[in-house]
Structure 1
Amino acid sequence: MASDHDGDDLLRIEALRVIGLYQGAYDGERIRKAILAIALREDEDDEVRVYALNALSFLDVGDLEIDASKQIVSSDEYISIKAAAFSLIAQHKHLPIAQEALQAMEEDKEFGKAAKRELGQF
């Protein structure tokens, strides 16, 4: 349902919220890839993209999701999408790749201060 680009956006958002909150027996890698595809789709509704990134924040992520989020933060996307991507990285700051991403953002005009705070430098 969440991947149905032609579906109702509010229903898709609710599906993403449930996926992010549900910790059950399912194919996590397949679901993470599908959600990431939604988040990266530039012609997707912005709010759907934000909820996709938020759903990923609640899941166990890896290098792929952190790298994609880092690229979103450094892009010219709307601030709400960039903030959701930053939040995903911050939520997983225990991962070495997330630490590296936060360090790379320390001088970022929009997220540098928050990156330093997440790294414990404030």
Structure 2
Amino acid sequence: MNHNNNEQPDLSAISGEEKLQALRDLIDLTDNHLTQQVLTIGMEPHEEDLIRIEAWRALGMAGSSALLGEILHAAARLVRDPEEDEDVQNYVLQTLALLPITEAEIKLAQEVLEGEAYILVKAAAFAILVAHQHVSGAKSALESLQSDPDFGASAKRVLHLN
């Protein structure tokens, strides 16, 4: 398999540091087979968290992928899983801030902000609203946050810049 003139290993055949480095070396994620491998790694609960985080970082480059819907659905499952590692959830949400999303992901961000999530996870959800203000529901979500003790001042600033 040849990607960008760099030979990419079969990610399912390697592990540990080699897999981590292969994920870090990805600069483009346009091949559907490779994208599917990266998504599988990101969803694998028995994989090391650092490797899963790198997989989700790489998935942030999959905006034009035919697998985008599958990526968005997988992200929502991880974010809503109360047993999921908070650092992984944080990176999943950061990835959603980079991808073309729908109103469903705006609602997911709102759920996180209204819930009991760790503050960094909430901050990543807030970043989704800021990055995707053009998506239906994002502006009203930002407006509803204006009195929030953690994000109120930022929400006001974002709304008044537009």
Instruction: Compute the TM-score of the two structures, normalised by the length of structure 1.
Output: 0.92
Q: 1:80 aligned to 2:120?
A: yes
Q: What RMSD in Å do the two structures reach over aligned CA positions?
A: 1.6
From 96, 107, 119, the counterpart of 1:56: 96
**SS of 2:137's equivalent?**
helix
Structure 2 length-normalised TM: 0.71
Deviates more, 1:55-64 or 1:21-30: 21-30
* Counterpart position of 2:20: none
User: What runs of 5+ residues in structure 2 fail to find an aligned partner?
Assistant: 1-40
CA distance in structure 2 between the aligned counterparts of 1:100 and 1:23, rounded to whole angstroms:
25
Q: Over alpha carbons, which structure has the higher Rg?
A: 2
Structure with more contact order per residue of length (Cα contacts < 8 Å, sep ≥ 6): 1
Partner of 1:36: 76
Kindly state the Cα deviation for residue 23 of structure 1 after the two structures are TM-superposed: 3.8
Match for residue 151 of structure 2 among 111, 114, 121? 111
Q: Deviations over 1:29-76 (max 9, x none)?
A: 111111121122111111000000001111111111101111111212
**1:90-110 deviation per Cα after TM superposition (whole angstroms, max 9, x unaligned):** 110122310010011111111
- The offset of 1:22, in angstroms, is 3.5
Number of the residue aligned with 2:4: none
Please state how far the C-alpha of 1:25 moved relative to its aligned partner.
Answer: 3.2
The residue type paired with residue 77 of structure 2 is A
Q: Secondary structure of 1:120's match?
A: helix
1:97 pairs, out of 137, 148, 154, with 137
For structure 1, the 5+ residue unaligned runs are none
Worse-matched range after superposition: 37-46 or 22-31: 22-31
2:147 partner amino acid: E
Which of 79, 84, 109 aligns to 1:69? It is 109
The separation in 2 between residues aligned to 1:23 and 1:75, in whole angstroms, is 28
| Equivalent-residue separation in structure 2 for 1:25 and 1:98 (angstroms) | 23
- Describe the SS at the equivalent of 1:115: helix
1:100 and 1:41 mapped to 2: Cα distance?
Answer: 26
Residue identity opposite 1:13 in structure 2: I
Q: Specify the alignment match of 1:17 in structure 2.
A: 57
Residue 43 of structure 2 aligns to a residue whose secondary structure is coil
Aligned length: 122
